[in-house]
């Protein structure tokens, strides 16, 4: 019998107040599934039980490897991941890059703990199960479901700390109308899934933010950290070891005095500088000189388009830890588009 497989990883949806006061992830996916009503046959699997703010790249890989394995099981017609909202946009985006398309993959969670006066987890989970049960959504890539809507993980961001629907961005592909699922978009991708290797766990890609008075030494230090990681993982060829970092510029992709010169120095030594923007929405568009985006790109920075700094970091780490590392700039530009 076809089933919706629910993968539990913890998060607020699985959290209750502990004896010492703070909420802690403790509820199982099985206990969460018992709170929803669904015509679908449900089964559960525990992958992790943690707050997503505690996750590192190794935990993100663990979740995505579990998803890859579950997509290969013909009994599964859809997959749901319960996950903390703090870093859901990173894990779900990684899943969109590495998990084969074919059946719906839907992330969801909660803003209020399971033992709160008005928990939102059960309804979000019920909606996610409904989306995961729609075969037409199987080619839309990994989705995030909150507030009765499912949006693509790519481009999604958590934009509010406490709102019941904290996510914005991406492409809304479906919504719930009563018990129905209404598909409103059908995004597709021509990219093959990227390979996911254990080296991803320790790949160093830092983010440096531009702001008034930011010192260029921040970028230099991030570059040094990236080079040290690359040299330690170069297999004996430190001079050719690719490394990368993300510069989250102001506006359409700008930074202060000295940044363009440092970008030129870093790229000359083989460290890729990805130019994103700290602005929540909109693409990087090199327009300004005098150290602005035009000068940064001329110095070798790679614009991330409309990919935000946090998801740009995930893509960079994935590429640096796999076979695309030797053609990093080309691969990044292709998969970021």
Tell me, yes or no, if 271 is annotated catalytic. Answer: no
Q: Could you tell me which residues are beta bridge partners of residue 31? A: none
CA distance 227 to 46: 37
How many Å apart are CA 253 and CA 303, to the nearest integer?
8
Angle at 28 between CA 27 and CA 33, to 5 degrees: 110
Catalytic residue among 44, 50, 71, 85: 85
Q: Catalytic one among 12, 82, 203, 250?
A: 12
Is 85 an active-site residue?
yes
Q: Does residue 247 contact residue 208 with C-beta atoms inside 8 Å?
A: yes
Spatial distance between the Cα atoms of 67 and 146, rounded to a whole number of angstroms: 20
Tokens 């390979």 belong to: 195
CA distance 59 to 52: 9
Contacts for 64-67: CB closer than 8 Å, 24+ residues apart:
64/91, 64/94, 64/95, 64/98, 64/99, 64/196, 65/196, 66/7, 67/7, 67/95, 67/99, 67/105
Nearest to 155 by CA among 321, 329, 305, 52: 305
Catalytic residues: 12, 85
């Amino acid at each position: 019998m076809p089933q919706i497989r629910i993968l539990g990883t913890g998060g607020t949806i699985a959290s209750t107040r502990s004896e010492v006061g703070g909420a802690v992830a403790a509820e199982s996916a099985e206990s969460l599934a018992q709170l929803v009503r669904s015509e679908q046959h449900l089964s559960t699997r525990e992958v992790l039980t943690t707050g997503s703010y505690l996750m590192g790249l190794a935990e993100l890989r663990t979740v995505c490897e579990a998803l890859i394995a579950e997509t290969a099981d013909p009994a599964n017609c859809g997959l749901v991941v319960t996950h903390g909202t703090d870093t859901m946009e990173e894990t779900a985006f990684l899943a969109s890059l590495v998990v084969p398309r074919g059946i719906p993959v839907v992330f969801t969670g909660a803003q209020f703990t399971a033992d709160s006066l008005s928990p939102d987890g059960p309804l979000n989970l019920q909606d996610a199960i409904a989306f995961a049960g729609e075969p037409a959504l199987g080619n839309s890539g990994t989705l995030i479901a909150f507030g009765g809507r499912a949006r693509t993980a790519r481009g999604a961001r958590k934009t509010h700390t406490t709102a019941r629907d904290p996510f914005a961005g991406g492409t809304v592909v479906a919504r719930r109308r009563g018990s129905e699922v209404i598909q409103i978009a059908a995004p597709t991708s021509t990219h093959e899934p990227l390979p996911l290797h254990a080296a991803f766990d320790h790949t160093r890609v830092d983010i440096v933010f531009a702001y008034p008075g930011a010192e260029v030494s921040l970028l230099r230090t991030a570059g040094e950290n990236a080079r040290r990681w690359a040299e330690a993982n170069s297999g004996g060829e430190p001079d050719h070891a690719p490394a990368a970092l993300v510069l989250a510029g102001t506006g359409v992709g700008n930074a202060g005095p000295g940044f363009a010169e440092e970008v030129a120095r870093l790229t000359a030594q083989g460290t890729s500088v990805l130019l994103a923007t700290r602005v929540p929405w909109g693409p990087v568009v090199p327009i300004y000189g005098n150290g602005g985006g035009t000068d940064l790109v001329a110095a070798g920075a790679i614009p991330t388009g409309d990919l935000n700094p946090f998801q740009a970091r995930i893509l960079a780490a994935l590429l640096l830890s796999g076979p695309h590392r030797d053609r990093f700039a080309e691969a990044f530009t292709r998969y970021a588009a």
